[in-house]
Every structure is written in structure tokens, then in C-alpha cells.
Chains A and B, each alone.
Chain A
Amino acid sequence: MKGIFESLRKTRNAVFGQIANLFGAGEIDENTWDELESLLIQGDVGVETTLALIGKLRARIKEEGVYRAADLNRIVYEEILALLPEAPPLNLKWPLAVILIVGVNGSGKTTSIGKLAAHYRREGRKVVLAAADTFRAAAMDQLKVWGERAGVPVIDGPEGGDPSSVAYDAIEYAQSRKADMLIVDTAGRLHTQHNLMAEMEKIQRIIARRVAWAPHETFLVLDANTGQNGLIQAQQFLKAVKVSGIVLAKLDSSARGGMVLSIGHQLNLPVRYVGTGEKIEDMAPFDREAFVKGLLEQ
């Protein structure tokens, strides 16, 4: 896996490593705050989080007697970083670790699974994939291509069949082959679709019944281009299944993915990986500091 810097350099042309001097050399005034507000909102951080953040910063500036705009940079950086929860170690040390992948339509689930499979395989794990999206046209074929690329087997089912039984079959297969990791792909679903959310709960239930404490990790894949709906998605998916982390796909786009700040802060959900392209190596572990720097770039 490439580092986040390296992965992003291609399209974003960014100067990472140092936070750009956001606010010039003058003193902090109303313009400084306006500028910061504009930057955060345009990074999809959202109104509520932005205003709360600015309120907090104003208080801190006053308290600490900071008046130079240049000094504000460091404090802004610290406060934003504090919104992103630090991730505990991944819960994957099981004889058969099961990762469930969920998210809305087209966010990047299947592609991320291909990348994760290659990553964990390189780490020496024996990975199996379950193509439990039996609904979308050619979704199983798509995962099979990724399986081939990553060099791992893919278990599928009949088109339009029950996704839970694909998960079930994949568990049997993984256990019989002594695989130690199973990643389950699911169909894209909007959290407003009651039936489909129930279907997803059922997949989780079947997995839990077959493997102790599984799914051990459940990743919600979010498209970095998503705006304020991202928080609602996270809330609603969290209500239905045990989401334990975020995969932020398409961070190579022009979007900055600022909605993960409110997701991290309000729901205490850590971001685990970022997707940075369409190739199998285009994924990086989430790096909080690099992310905040990217967010604050102009």
C-alpha cells in the first residue's frame, strides 16, 4: 500500500508536508474567520461542525492571547485533528476474521474490497471474498475480476438470489479451506430503503450465527464527494449494523471529504482506509494528520 501522500500526489498536485499558511501575516480579524469558514464549508465539513469549530477557536485565541494570523494555523490544525478519533487496532486476529462491507450505491465498495484483498494477502493472510451483491447487474462478475487481480477466490450465488446464503456459503468455503479472512461485498443501498436495510441486517445475523463475534469489522464505504448526507448515511447504517470504521473512497478526486469530521466527532467512527484511485494499489491507511493538511490546503 502506498502512503497517502504518494497516492494523492498524482491528481491533486498537492504540496503536503507543511500546512499552507492559510491566513497570511496580518492580525486575526473578521476576515480571517470568514476565510476559515469558507475553507471548511467548501471542504464539506458542514455548517454545524464548522460553526462549532470556529466558536471554539475564537475562545481559545482569546484565552491564549494569540493575535497573529500566522499562529492560528497551528491551533486550527490541532482542533480539527481532535475531531477525528484515533483508531483502535483492527479487530482481525481471529482464526477466520470476517469483514462486512456496506454503503450506498456506487460509493466504491466492490473496488475497495479488491484493494483490501490484495493488501491483506500481501500481509500473509489467506483471503476469501463473498459476492453477496446478487442484485446489481454484473456485480458478481465485477468482484470476480477483482478476485483474480488479487489472487483470491470469490464465492458467488445465483443472480437475484438471497445474499445471506452467499455469505453463508462463503463462510463454509472459507472454513473448509482454512482461510483466515473473509470479506463480504454487499449491494449498494440507500439508508432510506427500509427493506434493503433489513436485508443487510439479515446478512450480519447469518454471519454472526456462523462465526463467533463476527463480523469482526464492518466498514462503511463513503464517496469522498458526498456532502452532508454522509453523516446521515453513517447514522443510519450504524443503526442497522455494527459499523466499526469508514473507508473513504475516491479521495483522489477534487473533493476533500470533510464530512468525516462530523462522522468522527459525533459518532466516534474512525476512518480506516482511503481510496485514491481505480487501481489495486490505490489505497492507503488513513493518516489523520495528512488528511487534515489536505483539508486545509487552498
Chain B
Amino acid sequence: MFESLSDKLQAVFNKLGKRGILREEDVKAVLREIRLALLEADVNYKVVKDFIDRVREDAVGAELSKALNPAQQVVKIVHQELMITLGEPGRLELRGHAPYILMLVGLQGSGKTTMVGKLARHLRATGHFPLMVAADTYRPAAITQLEVLGRQLNIPVYSDHGKTRPPDICVNALEDARKRGSDVVLLDTAGRLQLDDDMMAELEAIRSRVRPIEVLLVADAMTGQEAVNIAQGFHERVGLTGLILTKVDGDARGGAAISMRAVTGVPIKFLGTGEKLGALEPFHPDRLASRILGMGDMLSLIERAELAFDEAQAEEMERKLRKGEFDLEDFLEQLRQVRRMGPLDELLKMIPGVGKMLQGADLDKVEAEKNLKYVEAMILSMTKEERRNPRILNASRKRRIAAGSGTTVQQINQLLGQHRQMQKMLKQVKEGKLRGLPRLF
């Protein structure tokens, strides 16, 4: 896992020791760390150069704050500068006359078809009547893929099964949209390289014939240095109105977003955060900036949590929590869900600061995993009645459970104590004493 930029800068500043004043070479060392951090995050080489120049200017003129140490101050400046480059989140511009045509373009496999499904779902939820158009006649089963999504979402799909060329398909789809009364038309175009002149000409033809209100570049968050040329290539030929970053649920730092923003100047409109059709998120410049700087691990922890948690179950749990009836059975279920997120040591390392703490002291992973197993064994050794109402656990019941689970009465008491504390906390939440508790924890 990456050491975060603030850790690295801290090391630079620690070397300053008691001297406390920044010399020319210190500034240089700091800028070097920033530069490397951005390059590691896949921000384009040339984009980084311009960026560093801007940070240098800002840093020289900056007022020193007493609240932050020098490392934190530099990180803050860099973070702000990144946020400015990333820009404000864009929204879909559905203005003028319906049907509004949205055209999705991008390299092969970037996530266009999936994104068409996600946007259609999102638009329907906000009161629109979308039509999805299968304008990829090249990739094997691309049309079927969109049709399957249409069936899953119960949203209509227009296709003519490759009888005509993509520009004609799109024109005919508009007719279909009018008949159906669809007010938004989403065009799923084939993946293509910005280098491929014929294929880019096809996009130009579609664009000039149907005049889409949005032309959205769908790009993979894992993209490397070429993001600049890709975005520029598409922008020059078809005039982009927005960017969408997909596969943000992975652990790529996503520096490509900076590169693409820098060369096109068009806003980032959405993020794709999973394969499921609900995995669509608005873009938050602050979050993405933190992630690019390697400080977004906390957020990825939350993302993992969301992945591991079954939505229906989560709702049921929330209902129970609200009523304050969180019994040991639920406790077990929660534990299992946490375990599904991944090995414990990996999870802990994602929490800012903890990763560093664990470096020398290497967490006893085996021990921690064993503890979880014990808890599981203890609860499994209880009767249904005991799990629902732990208060009935007297000494003899506890001895039985200890024997059954290969644990001790002391361990059982510990577990019960934890459970009681949790219930107390829940009660406070219910009474509104603890606000702003993260949704999942």
C-alpha cells in the first residue's frame, strides 16, 4: 500500500529539524515528493509539470498557519490546487426540447454499455422516460448485452440487430423515442481508439445527425499516462460535454481524471463504482483529490463495507437498530459481514494513520482472526432463545457455552460486555445524543 503524501512530506520536514526555516533546497525536496506522488497516481507527466509550477507559486506566497504543521500545510495547498483542477461536479444538462440525446463514447471496455444502463436507471428514478439505443454493431453480443440490461431494468432498448449502420440506427431510434414518448435517449456506441480515423468519423456522423445535448467520455479509472491523448483525441473530433470515470470501486488512484480534465476542461459528471446498475455516484472533487494523493483509503474502506453489505439485510438491520433490538444473532450477522470485507489486517491498514502504526508493530493477524472465530463459535453454541435474550445467560448456561465453543466463561463475559455497550450506544443514537455516526458503523 502506498505511503501517503503527508507521511512522505513529514519525513522531509523532520529532516529540517530545529532549523525550522525553509531553504530553497527544502522547497525543492517538497515539490519533488509532490511530483512523485502525482506521477505514481497516474497523472500525466506534462500535466504534473504545470501543476507543480502552480503549487510553487501558491506555496511561496502562502501565509503560515499555526494550526497545521508544515507538512499538513503543503498537503492542504496541493489538495486545494487539485480540487481546483478537478473542478466542480457537472450535472446532466437536459435543457431545450425533448428528447434529450446523450451519447456515450470511449475506448474499448471502459464501461460505456454498463454506464448507459446506470444512467437510464438514474434518469427514470428522477422522473424521465429513457430509451437505450444499441449503436454498437461491432462487438460480439454487444446488442444482447444492452438488451439484457434493458430487461433487468425494465427500460426499453432500441436496436435493429445490425441491419443498418450506427448513424442510421441512432436516427431511427429518435423516431422510435417519439412514438414511445421517451424524453431521454441514451446512445451506446462501440468502443474505439481515438487513433482509429474511420471509427472516429462514425462518431462525427452520429453527432452531426442527431445533435446530442451531451457527449460523455467514459473512461476507466485505471487509465495511465495516455489519458491525456485519449481525452484530447475524442474532444477534438466530437466535442465532449462531460467526463465519466468508471471502476472507481478499485484501488487505482485515478490520476487520469486530472489529466483528462486538464486537457478538455469539461466537467466530471459521474463516477461508476461497481458492476451493478445502482453503482453510480456523483463526483466529489474533495474525495477524488484525497484519493489521488493516496489519502483516500478511508473512503475505500467505506466502499468495501458497502460492497459486502447486502442492501436488503442492511435495511432490516437499520430497522432493528432504530428499535434498539440488536440481539446476539444480529451481532453475529454483522461480524460475518465485516469478515466478508476482507482480511482484518488489510481493513485496519486502510484507516489513515493505522497503516503506519502497523508497519513496525505488525498486527497479530492470526490472533485477531482467531478472536473473531471464537466470538462466532460462542454465539453459535447458544440457543436461539439465548441469542435473542442474552440476559438469561446464568453461570451454568455460560459454562455450557464455553464447553461447546472451546472458550472460557471469561471470554463469554467479555462478549456480553461488548454487546451491552453496543446496545447502550444504540440507545443514545436513538435518543439523538450521538449524531453524525457513519451510516454503517
12 contacts between A and B (CB under 8 A): A46-B40, A137-B152, A138-B142, A145-B140, A191-B250, A195-B340, A225-B222, A229-B250, A229-B252, A230-B222, A232-B251, A254-B230
Interface residues of B in 86-109 (CB under 8 A from A): 107-109
Q: Is A141 an interface residue (CB 8 A)?
A: yes
Interface residues of B in 235-262 (CB under 8 A from A): 247, 249-253, 255-256
Of A86-94, A100-108, A167-175, which binds chain B?
A100-108
Secondary structure of the A contact surface, majority rule: loop
State whether A192 touches B44 (Cβ < 8 A).
Answer: no
Interface residues of A in 244-261 (CB under 8 A from B): 250, 252-255, 259
Which residues of the partner chain B approach A47 to less than 8 Å between Cβ atoms? 36, 39-40
State whether A254 touches B141 (Cβ < 8 A).
Answer: no
Q: Is A44 an interface residue (CB 8 A)?
A: yes
Distance in angstroms between the alpha carbons of A188 and B222 in the assembled complex? 14
Distance in angstroms between the alpha carbons of A141 and B142 in the assembled complex? 9
Q: Is B275 an interface residue (CB 8 A)?
A: yes
Most buried by B among A136, A139, A229: A229
Interface residues of A (CB under 8 A from B): 11-12, 38, 41-44, 46-48, 104-108, 114, 135-139, 141-142, 144-146, 188, 190-195, 223, 225-230, 232, 250, 252-255, 259, 278
A-B interface, 8 closest residue pairs, ranked by CB to CB distance from nearest:
A227-B224, A106-B109, A145-B140, A227-B42, A137-B148, A138-B145, A142-B141, A141-B141
Q: Is B159 an interface residue (CB 8 A)?
A: no
Instruction: Contacts A106-B109, A254-B195 known; list 6 others, CB within 8 Å.
Output: A11-B196, A104-B222, A105-B109, A194-B308, A223-B109, A228-B252
Q: In the complex, what's the smallest C-beta–C-beta distance from B170 to chain A, in angstroms?
A: 21
State whether A255 touches B341 (Cβ < 8 A).
Answer: no
State whether A254 touches B193 (Cβ < 8 A).
Answer: yes
Interface residues of B in 207-241 (CB under 8 A from A): 220, 222-226, 229-230, 233
Interface residues of B in 39-96 (CB under 8 A from A): 39-42, 44-45
Q: In the complex, what's the smallest C-beta–C-beta distance from B104 to chain A, in angstroms?
A: 14
Q: Is B137 an interface residue (CB 8 A)?
A: no
Residue of A nearest to B247 (CB): A105
State whether A106 touches B110 (Cβ < 8 A).
Answer: yes
Encode B103-129 as 1/0 by CB contact (under 8 A) with A: 000011111010000000000000000
Q: Is B391 an interface residue (CB 8 A)?
A: no
Which residues of the partner chain A approach B42 to less than 8 Å between Cβ atoms? 44, 227-229
State whether A11 touches B109 (Cβ < 8 A).
Answer: no
State whether A138 touches B144 (Cβ < 8 A).
Answer: yes
Which residues of the partner chain A approach B230 to less than 8 Å between Cβ atoms? 225, 254
Interface residues of B (CB under 8 A from A): 36, 39-42, 44-45, 107-111, 113, 138-142, 144-149, 152, 193-196, 220, 222-226, 229-230, 233, 247, 249-253, 255-256, 275, 300, 304, 307-308, 340-343
State whether B253 touches A228 (Cβ < 8 A).
Answer: yes
Residue of B nearest to A137 (CB): B148
Distance in angstroms between the alpha carbons of A227 and B225 in the assembled complex? 7
Residue of A nearest to B190 (CB): A278
State whether B108 touches A194 (Cβ < 8 A).
Answer: no
Q: In the complex, what's the smallest C-beta–C-beta distance from A281 to chain B, in angstroms?
A: 15
Which residues of the partner chain B approach A105 to less than 8 Å between Cβ atoms? 109, 111, 247, 275
Which residues of the partner chain A approach B147 to less than 8 Å between Cβ atoms? 138
Which residues of the partner chain A approach B109 to less than 8 Å between Cβ atoms? 105-108, 223, 250
State whether B250 touches A104 (Cβ < 8 A).
Answer: yes
Residue of B nearest to A222 (CB): B222
State whether A146 touches B229 (Cβ < 8 A).
Answer: no
Distance in angstroms between the alpha carbons of A253 and B142 in the assembled complex? 21
State whether A11 touches B149 (Cβ < 8 A).
Answer: no
Residue of B nearest to A198 (CB): B340
Distance in angstroms between the alpha carbons of A192 and B220 in the assembled complex? 16
Which residues of the partner chain B approach A195 to less than 8 Å between Cβ atoms? 307-308, 340
Which residues of the partner chain B approach A190 to less than 8 Å between Cβ atoms? 247, 249-251
Which residues of the partner chain B approach A250 to less than 8 Å between Cβ atoms? 107-109
Distance in angstroms between the alpha carbons of A263 and B148 in the assembled complex? 37
Q: In the complex, what's the smallest C-beta–C-beta distance from B315 to chain A, in angstroms?
A: 20
State whether A136 touches B275 (Cβ < 8 A).
Answer: yes
Which residues of the partner chain B approach A194 to less than 8 Å between Cβ atoms? 304, 308, 340-343
State whether B193 touches A11 (Cβ < 8 A).
Answer: yes
State whether A141 touches B275 (Cβ < 8 A).
Answer: no
Which residues of the partner chain B approach A225 to less than 8 Å between Cβ atoms? 107, 220, 222-224, 226, 230
Most buried by A among B138, B152, B229: B229
Most buried by B among A105, A139, A226: A105
Which residues of the partner chain B approach A229 to less than 8 Å between Cβ atoms? 42, 222, 250-253
Distance in angstroms between the alpha carbons of A136 and B145 in the assembled complex? 8
Distance in angstroms between the alpha carbons of A226 and B247 in the assembled complex? 12
Q: In the complex, what's the smallest C-beta–C-beta distance from B161 to chain A, in angstroms?
A: 13
Residue of A nearest to B193 (CB): A253
Which residues of the partner chain A approach B341 to less than 8 Å between Cβ atoms? 194
Q: In the complex, what's the smallest C-beta–C-beta distance from A146 to chain B, in angstroms?
A: 6
Partner of A192, one of B107, B196, B304: B304
Which residues of the partner chain A approach B196 to less than 8 Å between Cβ atoms? 11
Partner of B222, one of A12, A146, A223: A223
Which residues of the partner chain A approach B253 to less than 8 Å between Cβ atoms? 228-229
Q: In the complex, what's the smallest C-beta–C-beta distance from B349 to chain A, in angstroms?
A: 13
State whether A227 touches B250 (Cβ < 8 A).
Answer: no
Which residues of the partner chain B approach A142 to less than 8 Å between Cβ atoms? 139-141, 144-145
Which residues of the partner chain B approach A145 to less than 8 Å between Cβ atoms? 140-141
